[in-house]
Amino acid sequence: MKQVAVILLLVAAIVATIYNNERSGSVAPVAASTPQVDRQLELVEEEEPATVATPSLRSPVVVVEEPVFVEEPAAVEEPAAVETPSASAVEEVEAIESAVAEAIKVTTTEAAPLDPVQQEEEEAADEGEDRKLQVSDTSGGADGDPHFKTWKNEHFEYHGQCDMVLVKDPNFANGLGIDVHIRTKLVRYWSYIQAVSIRIGNDIIELHGSSAEYDPEVHYWFNYEFQDEVETMAGFPVTLYNKKSKSHKTSITIDLSSISPGQKIVLKTFKEFLKVDFHEPAAKAFGNVVGMLGDFNTGKTLSRDGATVIDDFTDLGHEWQVLPADGRLFHETSVPQYPAMCIDPEDPRGDRQRRLDESSIKEEDAEAACAGLKDPLDRKDCVYDILATQDLDMAGAF
């Protein structure tokens, strides 16, 4: 505003000078000025770089009744001031940015690991039934019809009748040694595990099932004595369980956790059927075993020479038939015994398929009965056993 006032004063002075000169009959040059006017011009030049238009002397200045005002150019308007945010506003923005960063961190952070059971259920739902579900990297056992499961969770079947070496290692548990023998029984075109006997050190425990409609007894022998008291076996704790039901569910558990945590051998009965499970097997205990379950480290089904791979499972069963050198673990003998060979069913594949095609139980019903099993290979074996035995209750054997 100071600059505008100076300009107005200057213009007023010029107009007054011209007017006076016109009245006196002479026109003085515009350049003529007083020292006060010169000083005002210097101030204007110093403070306002913008050029101020000077009225032309070639045309007379028209004096109007209203005073002349010089309108302030729009260009010289000061830019709108940027409002500085208050301290509270800054704090609020910082809080919002912090919350957003935390949210991004949470969404990108890896989810907490699921427990093993929940993880298996979700993987089964995501990947379907074609995937082999394994509780651990290695597993092993035999059950049902019978179905053998190598240490690498590969399933196969052998339907002959004889005593076979499932597992053998003379150096087990610092030289105590272990032998696990199974006895199979042939029924028409299929067979099942009728009895299991285990030796660790100098102790032997044997378990049988029962075909009786109701049998409250646990049919076991300890060191060849029927139902002899047993709490430990070669120093390993032993637990007996009897459900006392029509399905005759009993079990014997040998706790090997002193060798490796969580490790145990579990024998189970369902009616007359036997099952052998090796829970959480570790190389420290079973790394050197041989037998029907194959090599622990590779899963290969090897012959007694430890090098030849046998892919024909009938030949594998014959290879691991119990020999006199393997010792006698069962309290009584059965047919056949070496040198008599294992008894194989006649035309097992053709007869078995024909019998399955003639089954009175629908496959859909068998699948429904076995649906609770997590491992798809176990479900497949379960369905087969139900159709073979014509018994929906066979799902309880798994």
Kindly list the averaged pLDDT for each block of 10 residues, start to end, along the chain of length 398. Answer: 60 62 50 49 48 43 45 49 54 57 44 44 40 45 82 89 98 97 89 95 96 84 96 97 77 96 93 92 95 95 96 96 97 97 77 62 84 83 80 75
42 in any annotated domain: yes
33 in any annotated domain: yes
Query: Do 284 and 206 share a domain, yes or no?
Result: yes
State residue 369's pLDDT score: 84
What is the rounded distance in angstroms from the CA atom of residue 369 to the CA atom of residue 392?
Answer: 7
Q: What is the pTM of this model?
A: 0.61
Query: Do 153 and 26 share a domain, yes or no?
Result: no
**Is the distance from CB of 146 to CB of 192 less than 8 angstroms?**
yes
Q: Which residues of 190-200 are buried (b: 16+ CB within 10 A; e: fewer)?
A: bbbbbbbbbbb
**Is the distance from CB of 276 to CB of 140 less than 8 angstroms?**
no
Query: Do 172 and 45 share a domain, yes or no?
Result: no
89 in any annotated domain: no
Query: Do 63 and 167 share a domain, yes or no?
Result: no
Query: Do 72 and 151 share a domain, yes or no?
Result: no
State residue 322's pLDDT score: 98
State residue 64's pLDDT score: 42
Select from 328, 344, 360 the last residue of a domain: 344
Query: Do 292 and 199 share a domain, yes or no?
Result: yes
63 in any annotated domain: yes
Query: Do 69 and 151 share a domain, yes or no?
Result: no
Contacts of 197 (CB under 8 A, 6+ apart): 180, 181, 183, 204, 205, 206, 207, 329, 330
- Domain holding 19, by residue range, is 2-76
Query: Do 70 and 149 share a domain, yes or no?
Result: no
391 in any annotated domain: no
Contacts of 117 (CB under 8 A, 6+ apart): none
State residue 2's pLDDT score: 54
**Nearest one of 275, 209, 280, 289 to 242, comparing CA atoms:** 209
Select from 23, 58, 76 the last residue of a domain: 76
Query: Do 185 and 323 share a domain, yes or no?
Result: yes
Count structural domains, the chain.
2
150 in any annotated domain: yes
Select from 61, 76, 91 the last residue of a domain: 76
